[in-house]
Amino acid sequence: MCGEIVAQRVRQLITRSGRSQGEFATLAGLDPSKMSKSLSGTRRFTSLDLARIAELGDVTVDWLLGADETPALAGRLSSPLGSSVESAMQEADRLTQLRADLAFLGYKQHVTLPQTTPVGSWWVGQGQQLAAWALDQACAAGADPSHTRDLAELIETVFGIDVAISELPDGFDGLASSREHRRLIVVGTSTVPSRQRFTLAHELGHVLAGDDQGLLVEADVYDKRHSRQSSEIRANAFATAFLLPEALLKSETSGTAWTDESFAKLVFRWWVSPSALAWRLHNVSLISKDLRDRFRGMTTESAALLAGELGSFTEWIDAASRCRIPQLLLRDTFQAYLDGTSTLRPFSNLIGEDSETIRQALEQAGEEPPLTS
């Protein structure tokens, strides 16, 4: 059945191109007789055949195989964003389609997920359980999320989940996509880096918990109207415990003389907002209510000045304001090209550069192109 679907869709592309079957085959780099045999069912299209046909027809390999997925949207938007949401969903779908094509070619995404789901009816407790598991995974990989500014890289390295930072509509924090062999987190560029970092942890919580299989869109991770939903309570509890683990907080702040300066230094030790840190310290009984209220009124900029971390703060904003291509996806698309199982188009599309320009650059750098026959 799958072979019939592929043949049918290849014929559609040939018809759409306005060329003969032989001309289309030649342009796709296939021998016309092999194309004929594949369309008649006496020969199977190879993965490289499909990659070349997909490139020529400007479609995905997934589409050639018969996939017509429409991402499931969990509607938790604070306001109707219309076409802005659609553009963000299209970007997520583009990245997940590319990941699906790579999986077909043999480059599967190796994601580390919990073997069991958190138990208990207390959603905060579930989030904390999940965070404890995630912290163990990070520790085993030699990573420390609570003290790592670049959380996107850590998520890819430890959990194998693709992470992109893109320009998203205002008031639209991010999204997560969970499908078989395709786990993706997309967050928006931001001039408020602590919010972006919390969003990354929040979306990681959703993916690890298996929430909303499909595409889950977050207009505002701090929106009180949807933060009361069970999955949101769990994701927020996960993010808090993942970024500010209670045991580590207590260990590192034991005996601290609480002043504005000592608190400000901790903001940049933990890479969170003063408000988030103040609430967390109070909730784990490390500071009084009065100190909480005093510290939570501090801005990150004023904390940077008090702690002598203005340079670090500026670098943090600059990093959060830049777009980021999923590095695992980038690696796998280029490896598929080097192995000769894919064309250069997926890699060039990912970095937004013309295929021929990249090919010339590789040749000038001494890289031998893969065999094409």
Q: Do 78 and 172 fall within a single domain?
A: yes
Tell which wins on pLDDT, 88 or 222.
88
In a domain, 132, yes or no: yes
Q: Do 56 and 77 fall within a single domain?
A: no
Instruction: Output the pLDDT for position 79.
Output: 40
Final residue in a domain of this structure, among 40, 64, 88? 64
Joined tokens for residue 341? 């199982």
Model confidence pLDDT, tens digit, residues 258-304: 999 999 999 999 999 999 999 999 999 999 999 999 999 999 999 99
Q: Do 78 and 141 fall within a single domain?
A: yes
Residue that has been written with the tokens 């009065």 in this structure: 290
Triad 368, 370, 373: Cα angle to 5°: 135
- Which range of residues forms the domain containing residue 264? 246-308
Instruction: Output the pLDDT for position 171.
Output: 65
Percentage of the chain surpassing pLDDT 70? 86
In a domain, 30, yes or no: yes
d(CA 310, CA 330): 33
In this prediction, residue 17 has a pLDDT band, given cuts at 50, 70 and 90, of: confident
Final residue in a domain of this structure, among 308, 338, 355? 308
Q: Do 300 and 206 fall within a single domain?
A: no
Average pLDDT over all residues of the chain: 86
Percentage of the chain surpassing pLDDT 90? 51
Model confidence pLDDT, tens digit, residues 45-95: 887 888 889 888 878 787 787 765 444 333 333 344 455 567 777 788 889
Instruction: Output the pLDDT for position 216.
Output: 66
Instruction: Output the pLDDT for position 75.
Output: 31
Distance of CA 128 to the CA centre of its chain: 22
Indicate the length of the chain as a whole number.
Answer: 373
In a domain, 80, yes or no: yes
Q: What is the dihedral of CA 357, 362, 363, 364, to 10 degrees?
A: 90
Q: What is the CATH number of the domain that holds 6?
A: 1.10.260.40
Domain count, the chain: 3
Instruction: Output the pLDDT for position 287.
Output: 97
Final residue in a domain of this structure, among 243, 278, 298? 243
pLDDT at residue 127 above 80?
yes
Distance of CA 248 to the CA centre of its chain: 27
Q: Do 176 and 46 fall within a single domain?
A: no
pLDDT at residue 208 above 90?
yes
Q: Do 162 and 47 fall within a single domain?
A: no
Which range scores top for mean pLDDT: 37-41, 71-75, 363-367? 37-41
Q: Do 150 and 224 fall within a single domain?
A: yes
Q: Do 174 and 294 fall within a single domain?
A: no
pLDDT at residue 359 above 90?
no
In a domain, 336, yes or no: no
In this prediction, residue 126 has a pLDDT band, given cuts at 50, 70 and 90, of: very high
* Whether 260 contacts 298, CB under 8 Å: yes
User: Where on the phi/psi map is residue 343: left (φ > 0), alpha (ψ -120 to 50), or beta?
Assistant: beta
In a domain, 157, yes or no: yes
Handedness of CA 207, 211, 214, 216 (dihedral sign): negative
Instruction: Output the pLDDT for position 288.
Output: 96
In a domain, 219, yes or no: yes
Q: Do 229 and 302 fall within a single domain?
A: no
pTM above 0.75, yes or no: yes
Among candidate residues 217, 201, 179, the one with its CA nearest the CA of residue 88: 217
Tell which wins on pLDDT, 369 or 290.
290
In a domain, 88, yes or no: yes
Q: Do 237 and 251 fall within a single domain?
A: no
In this prediction, residue 228 has a pLDDT band, given cuts at 50, 70 and 90, of: low
In a domain, 324, yes or no: no
Lowest mean pLDDT among 18-27, 28-37, 164-173, 340-349: 164-173
Q: Do 237 and 250 fall within a single domain?
A: no
Q: Do 42 and 170 fall within a single domain?
A: no
Distance of CA 70 to the CA centre of its chain: 19
d(CA 15, CA 20): 8
